Protein backbone atom coordinates (compact mmCIF):
# COMPACT_ATOMS: atom_id res chain seq x y z
CA UNK A 1 0.00 0.00 0.00
CA UNK A 2 1.20 3.47 -0.78
CA UNK A 3 1.50 5.64 2.26
CA UNK A 4 1.07 8.89 0.39
CA UNK A 5 -0.84 10.17 -2.57
CA UNK A 6 -3.29 8.49 -4.87
CA UNK A 7 -0.60 6.37 -6.40
CA UNK A 8 -2.21 3.32 -4.88
CA UNK A 9 -2.43 1.61 -8.25
CA UNK A 10 1.02 2.64 -9.31
CA UNK A 11 4.56 1.91 -8.40
CA UNK A 12 5.19 4.51 -5.79
CA UNK A 13 5.46 1.54 -3.46
CA UNK A 14 9.15 1.21 -4.04
CA UNK A 15 9.66 4.78 -2.94
CA UNK A 16 7.25 4.63 0.00
CA UNK A 17 8.64 1.37 1.21
CA UNK A 18 12.14 2.71 1.06
CA UNK A 19 11.13 5.42 3.52
CA UNK A 20 9.17 3.03 5.68
CA UNK A 21 12.01 0.54 5.82
CA UNK A 22 14.50 3.19 6.84
CA UNK A 23 12.29 4.56 9.55
CA UNK A 24 11.08 1.37 11.13
CA UNK A 25 14.62 0.25 11.76
CA UNK A 26 14.89 2.91 14.48
CA UNK A 27 13.24 3.16 17.88
CA UNK A 28 10.51 5.78 17.69
CA UNK A 29 12.29 8.73 19.21
CA UNK A 30 15.21 8.18 16.88
CA UNK A 31 12.81 7.68 14.03
CA UNK A 32 11.35 11.11 14.59
CA UNK A 33 14.78 12.70 14.56
CA UNK A 34 15.64 10.67 11.49
CA UNK A 35 12.49 11.89 9.76
CA UNK A 36 13.26 15.50 10.47
CA UNK A 37 16.89 15.36 9.45
CA UNK A 38 17.26 13.16 6.45
CA UNK A 39 13.94 12.31 4.91
CA UNK A 40 14.54 12.27 1.18
CA UNK A 41 13.07 15.04 -0.93
CA UNK A 42 10.71 13.68 -3.52
CA UNK A 43 10.62 15.49 -6.79
CA UNK A 44 8.99 15.11 -10.13
CA UNK A 45 10.38 16.29 -13.45
CA UNK A 46 7.93 17.24 -16.12
CA UNK A 47 7.81 19.00 -19.44
CA UNK A 48 7.02 18.34 -23.07
CA UNK A 49 8.61 15.70 -25.22
CA UNK A 50 12.25 16.51 -26.02
CA UNK A 51 12.57 19.34 -23.51
CA UNK A 52 15.49 17.36 -22.10
CA UNK A 53 13.96 15.60 -19.11
CA UNK A 54 15.89 12.37 -19.52
CA UNK A 55 19.09 14.31 -20.12
CA UNK A 56 18.49 16.31 -16.95
CA UNK A 57 17.84 13.27 -14.76
CA UNK A 58 20.81 11.52 -16.31
CA UNK A 59 22.92 14.59 -15.58
CA UNK A 60 21.73 14.70 -11.94
CA UNK A 61 22.66 11.06 -11.45
CA UNK A 62 25.98 11.49 -13.24
CA UNK A 63 27.18 14.64 -11.52
CA UNK A 64 26.12 13.46 -8.06
CA UNK A 65 27.98 10.21 -8.72
CA UNK A 66 24.88 8.07 -8.48
CA UNK A 67 25.95 6.22 -11.60
CA UNK A 68 27.92 3.07 -10.85
CA UNK A 69 31.28 2.59 -12.58
CA UNK A 70 30.09 -0.30 -14.77
CA UNK A 71 27.08 1.75 -15.90
CA UNK A 72 29.42 4.63 -16.66
CA UNK A 73 31.64 2.48 -18.86
CA UNK A 74 28.64 1.16 -20.77
CA UNK A 75 27.29 4.66 -21.11
CA UNK A 76 30.51 6.02 -22.58
CA UNK A 77 30.67 3.09 -24.98
CA UNK A 78 27.02 3.25 -26.10
CA UNK A 79 27.05 7.01 -26.54
CA UNK A 80 29.79 6.56 -29.14
CA UNK A 81 29.72 9.39 -31.63
CA UNK A 82 26.19 10.37 -30.66
CA UNK A 83 26.78 13.96 -29.84
CA UNK A 84 29.19 16.48 -31.12
CA UNK A 85 30.18 17.78 -27.69
CA UNK A 86 32.05 14.60 -26.91
CA UNK A 87 29.81 14.03 -23.87
CA UNK A 88 27.97 10.82 -23.05
CA UNK A 89 24.28 10.75 -23.94
CA UNK A 90 22.86 11.01 -20.44
CA UNK A 91 19.36 10.12 -21.58
CA UNK A 92 20.67 6.59 -22.23
CA UNK A 93 20.84 6.10 -18.48
CA UNK A 94 17.08 6.04 -18.50
CA UNK A 95 16.59 3.92 -21.56
CA UNK A 96 15.66 0.91 -19.52
CA UNK A 97 12.51 2.73 -18.58
CA UNK A 98 11.00 2.50 -22.01
CA UNK A 99 10.23 -1.17 -21.58
CA UNK A 100 8.74 -0.51 -18.17
CA UNK A 101 6.54 2.20 -19.57
CA UNK A 102 5.15 -0.08 -22.22
CA UNK A 103 3.86 -2.48 -19.60
CA UNK A 104 0.97 -0.39 -18.38
CA UNK A 105 -0.27 1.54 -15.42
CA UNK A 106 1.23 -0.40 -12.54
CA UNK A 107 4.82 0.43 -13.37
CA UNK A 108 4.71 3.53 -15.47
CA UNK A 109 6.29 5.85 -12.96
CA UNK A 110 9.94 5.02 -12.38
CA UNK A 111 11.81 6.25 -9.34
CA UNK A 112 15.49 7.18 -9.33
CA UNK A 113 17.61 7.76 -6.24
CA UNK A 114 20.56 10.09 -5.79
CA UNK A 115 22.11 12.08 -3.01
CA UNK A 116 24.50 14.86 -2.13
CA UNK A 117 26.29 15.19 1.18
CA UNK A 118 23.36 17.31 2.43
CA UNK A 119 20.37 15.23 1.45
CA UNK A 120 19.01 12.30 -0.53
CA UNK A 121 16.48 12.56 -3.32
CA UNK A 122 13.86 10.43 -5.01
CA UNK A 123 12.97 11.58 -8.48
CA UNK A 124 9.84 10.37 -10.23
CA UNK A 125 10.38 10.09 -13.94
CA UNK A 126 7.18 10.27 -15.92
CA UNK A 127 6.70 10.39 -19.69
CA UNK A 128 6.02 13.72 -21.39
CA UNK A 129 3.35 12.79 -23.93
CA UNK A 130 -0.14 14.06 -23.37
CA UNK A 131 -1.58 10.55 -23.11
CA UNK A 132 0.62 10.07 -20.06
CA UNK A 133 -0.99 12.84 -18.05
CA UNK A 134 -2.19 10.24 -15.58
CA UNK A 135 1.35 9.06 -14.90
CA UNK A 136 2.43 12.60 -14.33
CA UNK A 137 -0.43 13.04 -11.88
CA UNK A 138 0.57 9.83 -10.13
CA UNK A 139 4.17 10.95 -9.79
CA UNK A 140 3.08 14.38 -8.61
CA UNK A 141 0.82 12.94 -5.93
CA UNK A 142 3.83 11.92 -3.86
CA UNK A 143 6.22 14.75 -4.73
CA UNK A 144 7.40 17.68 -2.60
CA UNK A 145 8.64 19.73 -5.54
CA UNK A 146 8.21 19.81 -9.31
CA UNK A 147 10.93 20.62 -11.81
CA UNK A 148 9.19 21.93 -14.92
CA UNK A 149 11.38 21.85 -17.98
CA UNK A 150 10.97 24.15 -20.93
CA UNK A 151 13.07 24.35 -24.05
CA UNK A 152 14.51 27.88 -24.12
CA UNK A 153 13.85 28.04 -27.84
CA UNK A 154 10.17 27.11 -27.56
CA UNK A 155 9.18 28.76 -24.27
CA UNK A 156 6.02 27.77 -22.38
CA UNK A 157 3.76 25.29 -24.16
CA UNK A 158 0.26 24.04 -23.39
CA UNK A 159 1.84 20.94 -21.91
CA UNK A 160 3.87 23.10 -19.51
CA UNK A 161 0.65 24.72 -18.34
CA UNK A 162 -1.05 21.35 -18.02
CA UNK A 163 1.78 19.94 -15.92
CA UNK A 164 2.05 23.03 -13.74
CA UNK A 165 -1.70 22.84 -13.13
CA UNK A 166 -1.74 19.12 -12.35
CA UNK A 167 1.24 19.47 -10.03
CA UNK A 168 -0.56 22.26 -8.18
CA UNK A 169 -3.76 20.23 -7.95
CA UNK A 170 -1.74 17.37 -6.52
CA UNK A 171 -0.62 19.66 -3.74
CA UNK A 172 2.86 20.68 -4.93
CA UNK A 173 3.71 24.20 -3.84
CA UNK A 174 7.41 24.38 -4.72
CA UNK A 175 8.46 24.71 -8.35
CA UNK A 176 11.68 24.98 -10.25
CA UNK A 177 11.31 26.28 -13.77
CA UNK A 178 14.28 24.79 -15.61
CA UNK A 179 14.77 26.85 -18.74
CA UNK A 180 16.80 24.25 -20.55
CA UNK A 181 18.92 24.24 -23.70
CA UNK A 182 19.95 27.79 -22.87
CA UNK A 183 23.14 27.03 -24.84
CA UNK A 184 21.01 26.83 -27.98
CA UNK A 185 19.85 30.45 -27.59
CA UNK A 186 23.39 31.72 -27.04
CA UNK A 187 22.91 31.96 -23.24
CA UNK A 188 20.57 34.87 -23.87
CA UNK A 189 19.51 36.53 -20.62
CA UNK A 190 16.60 38.39 -22.26
CA UNK A 191 15.12 35.09 -23.47
CA UNK A 192 15.48 33.62 -19.98
CA UNK A 193 13.85 36.65 -18.35
CA UNK A 194 10.91 36.61 -20.79
CA UNK A 195 10.10 32.93 -20.16
CA UNK A 196 10.52 33.30 -16.40
CA UNK A 197 8.16 36.29 -16.41
CA UNK A 198 5.52 34.42 -18.39
CA UNK A 199 5.73 31.49 -15.99
CA UNK A 200 5.39 33.72 -12.94
CA UNK A 201 2.06 34.97 -14.31
CA UNK A 202 0.86 31.39 -14.70
CA UNK A 203 2.11 30.51 -11.21
CA UNK A 204 0.29 33.46 -9.66
CA UNK A 205 -2.94 32.36 -11.35
CA UNK A 206 -2.40 28.91 -9.82
CA UNK A 207 -1.71 30.40 -6.40
CA UNK A 208 1.90 29.18 -6.33
CA UNK A 209 4.45 31.51 -4.81
CA UNK A 210 7.60 29.48 -4.46
CA UNK A 211 9.25 29.38 -7.88
CA UNK A 212 12.90 29.43 -8.83
CA UNK A 213 13.68 29.91 -12.50
CA UNK A 214 17.09 28.59 -13.55
CA UNK A 215 18.81 28.97 -16.93
CA UNK A 216 20.23 25.56 -17.66
CA UNK A 217 22.03 23.34 -20.06
CA UNK A 218 21.28 19.80 -18.94
CA UNK A 219 23.46 18.50 -21.73
CA UNK A 220 26.53 20.45 -20.65
CA UNK A 221 25.72 20.23 -16.97
CA UNK A 222 25.44 23.97 -16.42
CA UNK A 223 23.42 25.00 -13.36
CA UNK A 224 22.32 21.42 -12.68
CA UNK A 225 24.87 20.27 -10.08
CA UNK A 226 27.79 22.45 -11.16
CA UNK A 227 27.32 26.16 -11.78
CA UNK A 228 27.24 27.70 -15.23
CA UNK A 229 28.99 30.95 -14.39
CA UNK A 230 31.53 30.60 -17.18
CA UNK A 231 28.78 30.74 -19.80
CA UNK A 232 26.19 32.79 -17.87
CA UNK A 233 27.96 35.37 -15.71
CA UNK A 234 24.65 37.29 -15.59
CA UNK A 235 22.96 34.53 -13.53
CA UNK A 236 23.67 34.74 -9.82
CA UNK A 237 21.00 32.39 -8.53
CA UNK A 238 21.31 28.83 -7.24
CA UNK A 239 21.93 25.66 -9.23
CA UNK A 240 19.15 23.08 -9.38
CA UNK A 241 20.76 20.91 -6.73
CA UNK A 242 21.15 23.87 -4.38
CA UNK A 243 17.41 24.55 -4.65
CA UNK A 244 16.66 20.87 -4.04
CA UNK A 245 18.89 20.81 -0.97
CA UNK A 246 17.00 23.76 0.52
CA UNK A 247 13.46 22.66 -0.38
CA UNK A 248 10.96 21.66 2.25
CA UNK A 249 9.90 18.05 2.67
CA UNK A 250 6.16 17.86 3.17
CA UNK A 251 5.21 16.63 6.54
CA UNK A 252 2.42 14.13 7.02
CA UNK A 253 2.15 15.20 10.64
CA UNK A 254 0.24 18.42 10.47
CA UNK A 255 -3.13 16.90 11.40
CA UNK A 256 -3.91 14.27 13.97
CA UNK A 257 -3.00 10.61 14.19
CA UNK A 258 -4.37 8.36 11.41
CA UNK A 259 -4.20 4.59 11.20
CA UNK A 260 -6.26 3.07 8.38
CA UNK A 261 -6.80 -0.48 9.62
CA UNK A 262 -5.46 -2.99 7.16
CA UNK A 263 -5.86 -6.15 9.16
CA UNK A 264 -7.10 -7.35 12.51
CA UNK A 265 -4.52 -9.67 14.02
CA UNK A 266 -5.72 -12.43 16.37
CA UNK A 267 -3.00 -15.00 16.76
CA UNK A 268 -4.49 -16.26 20.06
CA UNK A 269 -7.27 -15.54 22.55
CA UNK A 270 -5.07 -13.23 24.59
CA UNK A 271 -3.94 -10.94 21.78
CA UNK A 272 -5.86 -8.70 19.45
CA UNK A 273 -4.08 -6.02 17.43
CA UNK A 274 -4.96 -3.66 14.64
CA UNK A 275 -2.41 -3.43 11.86
CA UNK A 276 -1.72 -0.76 9.31
CA UNK A 277 0.67 1.94 8.19
CA UNK A 278 0.43 5.21 10.09
CA UNK A 279 -0.90 7.74 7.59
CA UNK A 280 -0.38 10.87 9.63
CA UNK A 281 0.57 12.18 13.06
CA UNK A 282 1.91 10.02 15.82
CA UNK A 283 0.66 7.93 18.73
CA UNK A 284 2.09 6.55 21.95
CA UNK A 285 0.87 4.14 24.61
CA UNK A 286 -1.73 5.80 26.83
CA UNK A 287 -3.11 8.03 24.07
CA UNK A 288 -6.87 8.04 23.61
CA UNK A 289 -8.13 7.23 20.14
CA UNK A 290 -11.44 7.19 18.29
CA UNK A 291 -12.41 4.42 15.92
CA UNK A 292 -14.25 5.64 12.84
CA UNK A 293 -16.90 5.30 11.58
CA UNK A 294 -18.33 3.77 14.77
CA UNK A 295 -17.15 6.62 17.03
CA UNK A 296 -16.04 4.20 19.77
CA UNK A 297 -13.16 5.34 21.96
CA UNK A 298 -10.29 3.43 23.56
CA UNK A 299 -6.76 3.97 24.85
CA UNK A 300 -3.63 2.63 23.23
CA UNK A 301 -2.17 -0.12 25.43
CA UNK A 302 0.79 -1.16 23.33
CA UNK A 303 2.48 -0.52 19.98
CA UNK A 304 4.31 -3.41 18.38
CA UNK A 305 6.13 -4.03 15.13
CA UNK A 306 7.25 -7.41 13.88
CA UNK A 307 10.22 -7.47 16.25
CA UNK A 308 9.92 -4.57 18.69
CA UNK A 309 7.64 -3.07 21.30
CA UNK A 310 7.68 0.62 20.53
CA UNK A 311 7.22 3.69 22.66
CA UNK A 312 5.66 5.62 19.77
CA UNK A 313 4.68 5.32 16.12
CA UNK A 314 4.94 8.05 13.54
CA UNK A 315 3.77 8.64 10.00
CA UNK A 316 5.06 5.93 7.67
CA UNK A 317 5.51 3.26 10.36
CA UNK A 318 3.90 -0.13 9.79
CA UNK A 319 2.60 -1.08 13.25
CA UNK A 320 0.13 -3.12 15.27
CA UNK A 321 -1.87 -1.24 17.89
CA UNK A 322 -3.21 -3.02 20.93
CA UNK A 323 -6.07 -1.22 22.70
CA UNK A 324 -7.07 -1.33 26.36
CA UNK A 325 -10.57 -2.66 25.72
CA UNK A 326 -12.63 -4.80 23.38
CA UNK A 327 -13.92 -2.76 20.48
CA UNK A 328 -15.45 -3.82 17.23
CA UNK A 329 -12.93 -2.89 14.54
CA UNK A 330 -12.57 -4.23 11.04
CA UNK A 331 -10.48 -3.62 7.92
CA UNK A 332 -11.24 -0.22 6.41
CA UNK A 333 -11.96 1.44 9.77
CA UNK A 334 -9.69 4.28 10.80
CA UNK A 335 -8.13 4.75 14.23
CA UNK A 336 -7.58 8.47 14.85
CA UNK A 337 -6.61 10.87 17.61
CA UNK A 338 -9.31 12.66 19.60
CA UNK A 339 -7.92 16.01 18.48
CA UNK A 340 -8.07 16.97 14.81
CA UNK A 341 -10.31 14.18 13.61
CA UNK A 342 -10.92 13.64 9.89
CA UNK A 343 -14.24 14.52 8.33
CA UNK A 344 -16.99 11.98 8.10
CA UNK A 345 -20.04 12.23 5.87
CA UNK A 346 -21.92 11.03 2.81
CA UNK A 347 -21.10 13.98 0.54
CA UNK A 348 -17.69 15.33 -0.41
CA UNK A 349 -16.22 17.66 -3.02
CA UNK A 350 -13.21 16.38 -4.91
CA UNK A 351 -10.94 17.03 -7.85
CA UNK A 352 -9.83 14.22 -10.09
CA UNK A 353 -7.99 13.28 -13.23
CA UNK A 354 -9.80 10.88 -15.58
CA UNK A 355 -7.41 8.10 -16.47
CA UNK A 356 -9.18 5.91 -19.00
CA UNK A 357 -10.69 6.25 -22.46
CA UNK A 358 -14.24 5.94 -21.07
CA UNK A 359 -13.78 9.07 -18.95
CA UNK A 360 -16.07 9.78 -16.01
CA UNK A 361 -19.77 9.57 -16.67
CA UNK A 362 -22.39 11.55 -14.73
CA UNK A 363 -24.16 9.73 -11.94
CA UNK A 364 -22.37 6.49 -12.63
CA UNK A 365 -21.61 4.36 -9.61
CA UNK A 366 -17.99 3.45 -8.94
CA UNK A 367 -15.91 1.81 -6.28
CA UNK A 368 -13.83 4.38 -4.44
CA UNK A 369 -10.63 3.14 -2.83
CA UNK A 370 -8.79 5.24 -0.29
CA UNK A 371 -6.17 3.62 1.89
CA UNK A 372 -7.70 0.39 3.13
CA UNK A 373 -11.30 1.44 2.49
CA UNK A 374 -13.38 0.54 -0.54
CA UNK A 375 -16.82 2.06 -0.88
CA UNK A 376 -19.63 2.56 -3.36
CA UNK A 377 -19.88 6.10 -4.63
CA UNK A 378 -21.86 8.07 -7.19
CA UNK A 379 -19.80 10.66 -9.04
CA UNK A 380 -21.27 13.85 -10.40
CA UNK A 381 -18.88 15.95 -12.53
CA UNK A 382 -19.47 19.67 -12.07
CA UNK A 383 -16.59 21.48 -13.79
CA UNK A 384 -13.50 20.77 -15.79
CA UNK A 385 -10.30 22.71 -16.18
CA UNK A 386 -9.84 24.40 -19.53
CA UNK A 387 -6.10 24.20 -20.00
CA UNK A 388 -5.99 26.87 -22.70
CA UNK A 389 -7.46 29.55 -20.47
CA UNK A 390 -6.62 28.01 -17.10
CA UNK A 391 -10.28 28.53 -16.09
CA UNK A 392 -12.85 26.12 -14.69
CA UNK A 393 -15.82 25.59 -17.01
CA UNK A 394 -19.10 23.72 -16.48
CA UNK A 395 -18.94 20.03 -17.40
CA UNK A 396 -21.32 17.10 -17.04
CA UNK A 397 -18.81 14.41 -17.95
CA UNK A 398 -15.03 14.18 -18.03
CA UNK A 399 -13.04 12.81 -20.94
CA UNK A 400 -9.75 10.96 -20.55
CA UNK A 401 -6.99 13.16 -19.11
CA UNK A 402 -9.50 15.86 -18.13
CA UNK A 403 -9.10 17.42 -14.72
CA UNK A 404 -12.46 17.96 -13.08
CA UNK A 405 -14.28 19.02 -9.96
CA UNK A 406 -16.86 16.48 -8.86
CA UNK A 407 -19.37 15.77 -6.13
CA UNK A 408 -19.12 12.40 -4.46
CA UNK A 409 -22.17 10.83 -2.87
CA UNK A 410 -21.55 7.73 -0.74
CA UNK A 411 -23.94 5.00 0.32
CA UNK A 412 -22.25 4.73 3.70
CA UNK A 413 -20.27 7.13 5.87
CA UNK A 414 -16.94 8.03 4.29
CA UNK A 415 -13.90 9.28 6.21
CA UNK A 416 -11.41 11.72 4.68
CA UNK A 417 -9.03 14.53 5.37
CA UNK A 418 -8.76 17.30 2.83
CA UNK A 419 -5.83 16.43 0.55
CA UNK A 420 -4.17 19.70 1.55
CA UNK A 421 -4.08 18.49 5.15
CA UNK A 422 -3.08 14.87 4.56
CA UNK A 423 -2.25 13.36 1.21
CA UNK A 424 -2.65 9.77 2.33
CA UNK A 425 -6.15 10.13 3.78
CA UNK A 426 -7.27 12.76 1.28
CA UNK A 427 -6.48 10.84 -1.89
CA UNK A 428 -8.45 8.14 -3.66
CA UNK A 429 -8.82 6.18 -6.86
CA UNK A 430 -12.06 5.28 -8.63
CA UNK A 431 -12.59 1.79 -10.01
CA UNK A 432 -15.16 0.92 -12.64
CA UNK A 433 -17.12 -2.04 -11.18
CA UNK A 434 -17.82 -3.41 -14.67
CA UNK A 435 -14.24 -3.52 -15.95
CA UNK A 436 -12.22 -3.29 -12.71
CA UNK A 437 -10.18 -0.52 -14.39
CA UNK A 438 -8.81 2.35 -12.33
CA UNK A 439 -10.65 5.18 -14.06
CA UNK A 440 -9.60 8.19 -11.98
CA UNK A 441 -7.22 9.39 -9.34
CA UNK A 442 -8.47 12.15 -7.13
CA UNK A 443 -8.26 14.16 -3.99
CA UNK A 444 -10.80 15.42 -1.51
CA UNK A 445 -11.10 19.17 -1.36
CA UNK A 446 -13.81 19.43 1.30
CA UNK A 447 -16.79 17.86 2.89
CA UNK A 448 -19.80 19.36 1.18
CA UNK A 449 -20.51 22.60 2.99
CA UNK A 450 -23.75 22.86 4.85
CA UNK A 451 -26.35 25.51 5.26
CA UNK A 452 -28.08 25.12 8.59
CA UNK A 453 -27.00 21.50 8.64
CA UNK A 454 -28.05 20.90 5.04
CA UNK A 455 -25.86 20.40 2.02
CA UNK A 456 -25.87 23.59 0.01
CA UNK A 457 -27.44 22.01 -3.03
CA UNK A 458 -30.07 20.20 -1.01
CA UNK A 459 -30.84 23.45 0.71
CA UNK A 460 -31.28 25.12 -2.65
CA UNK A 461 -33.84 22.48 -3.67
CA UNK A 462 -35.70 22.89 -0.45
CA UNK A 463 -35.69 26.64 -0.83
CA UNK A 464 -37.23 26.25 -4.29
CA UNK A 465 -40.23 24.46 -2.80
CA UNK A 466 -43.36 26.32 -1.69
CA UNK A 467 -42.48 28.03 1.58
CA UNK A 468 -44.88 26.14 3.79
CA UNK A 469 -43.75 22.79 2.45
CA UNK A 470 -40.07 23.70 2.82
CA UNK A 471 -40.61 24.81 6.36
CA UNK A 472 -42.44 21.65 7.21
CA UNK A 473 -39.66 19.50 5.83
CA UNK A 474 -36.95 21.40 7.64
CA UNK A 475 -38.85 21.32 10.90
CA UNK A 476 -39.44 17.62 10.77
CA UNK A 477 -37.30 15.81 13.33
CA UNK A 478 -37.34 12.72 11.17
CA UNK A 479 -35.86 14.69 8.33
CA UNK A 480 -33.18 16.09 10.56
CA UNK A 481 -32.21 12.60 11.56
CA UNK A 482 -32.28 11.22 8.09
CA UNK A 483 -31.19 14.11 5.92
CA UNK A 484 -27.87 12.47 5.25
CA UNK A 485 -29.63 9.37 3.99
CA UNK A 486 -32.14 10.86 1.57
CA UNK A 487 -31.12 12.26 -1.75
CA UNK A 488 -33.09 15.46 -1.54
CA UNK A 489 -31.71 16.57 -4.89
CA UNK A 490 -34.08 14.15 -6.57
CA UNK A 491 -37.05 15.55 -4.74
CA UNK A 492 -39.42 17.61 -6.85
CA UNK A 493 -42.11 19.79 -5.40
CA UNK A 494 -44.68 17.19 -6.36
CA UNK A 495 -42.84 14.44 -4.53
CA UNK A 496 -42.00 16.51 -1.50
CA UNK A 497 -45.30 15.90 0.23
CA UNK A 498 -44.93 12.15 -0.22
CA UNK A 499 -41.39 12.31 1.08
CA UNK A 500 -42.49 14.29 4.06
CA UNK A 501 -45.16 11.69 4.78
CA UNK A 502 -42.61 8.96 4.45
CA UNK A 503 -40.18 10.67 6.77
CA UNK A 504 -42.78 11.33 9.38
CA UNK A 505 -44.14 7.82 9.07
Residues of the shown chain interacting with ligand GTP in the complex, contacts defined by CB under 6 A: 47, 49-55, 91, 128, 180-181, 183-184, 217-219
Given a contact cutoff of 8 angstroms between Cβ atoms, the answer to whether 334 and 342 are in contact is yes
52 known member of a binding site: yes
Rounded least distance, CB 128 to ligand GTP, Å? 3
330 known member of a binding site: no
Q: Which residues pair with 353 in a beta bridge?
A: 403, 441
129 known member of a binding site: yes
Rounded least distance, CB 124 to ligand GTP, Å? 14
51 known member of a binding site: yes
Pick the closer one to ligand GTP by CB: 137 or 218. 218
Q: Are strands 427-431 and 403-416 parallel, antiparallel or unpaired?
A: unpaired
Using only the alpha carbons of the chain, give its radius of gyration.
25
Rounded least distance, CB 50 to ligand GTP, Å? 4
Would you say the C-alpha torsion 24, 25, 27, 30 has a positive or negative sign? negative
Rounded least distance, CB 36 to ligand GTP, Å? 34
CA distances from 107 to 98, 104, 404 (A): 11, 6, 25
Pick the closer one to ligand GTP by CB: 31 or 136. 136
181 known member of a binding site: yes
Rounded least distance, CB 179 to ligand GTP, Å? 10
Residues 6+ apart with CB under 8 A from 416: 342, 343, 348, 370, 425, 426, 428, 444, 447
Pick the closer one to ligand GTP by CB: 87 or 382. 87
501 known member of a binding site: no
Work out the widest C-alpha separation in the chain, in whole angstroms. Answer: 85
Pick the closer one to ligand GTP by CB: 47 or 260. 47
Pick the closer one to ligand GTP by CB: 91 or 321. 91
Closest-CA residue to 443 (of 419, 416, 410, 408): 419
- Using CA atoms, how far apart are residues 335 and 146, in angstroms rounded to an integer? 32
- DSSP secondary-structure letter at 65? T
Rounded least distance, CB 216 to ligand GTP, Å? 6
- Using CA atoms, how far apart are residues 310 and 232, in angstroms rounded to an integer? 53
Rounded least distance, CB 146 to ligand GTP, Å? 15
47 known member of a binding site: yes
Pick the closer one to ligand GTP by CB: 55 or 370. 55
405 known member of a binding site: no
Helices (H), 52-188: 53-63, 69-79, 97-101, 133-140, 158-169
Pick the closer one to ligand GTP by CB: 231 or 265. 231
- Using CA atoms, how far apart are residues 355 and 217, in angstroms rounded to an integer? 33
> Which residue ranges make up the annotated binding site for GTP?
47-54, 125-129, 180-183
> Which residue ranges make up the annotated binding site?
47-54, 125-129, 180-183
Amino acid sequence: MSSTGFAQSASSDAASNATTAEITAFPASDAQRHLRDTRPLRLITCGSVDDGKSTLIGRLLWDTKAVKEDQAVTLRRDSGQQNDLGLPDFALLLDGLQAEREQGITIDVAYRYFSTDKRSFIVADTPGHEQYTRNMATGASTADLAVLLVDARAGLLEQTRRHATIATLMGIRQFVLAINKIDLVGYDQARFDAIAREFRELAVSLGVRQITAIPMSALKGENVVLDGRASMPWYEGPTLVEVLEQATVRSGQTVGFRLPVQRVSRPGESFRGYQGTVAGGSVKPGDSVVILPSGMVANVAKIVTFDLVRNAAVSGDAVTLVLDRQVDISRGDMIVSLEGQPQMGLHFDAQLVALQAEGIQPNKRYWLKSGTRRQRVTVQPVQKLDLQSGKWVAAEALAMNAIGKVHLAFDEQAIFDAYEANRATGAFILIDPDTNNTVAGGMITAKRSSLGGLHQEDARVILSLPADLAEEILASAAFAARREEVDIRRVTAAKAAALLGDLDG
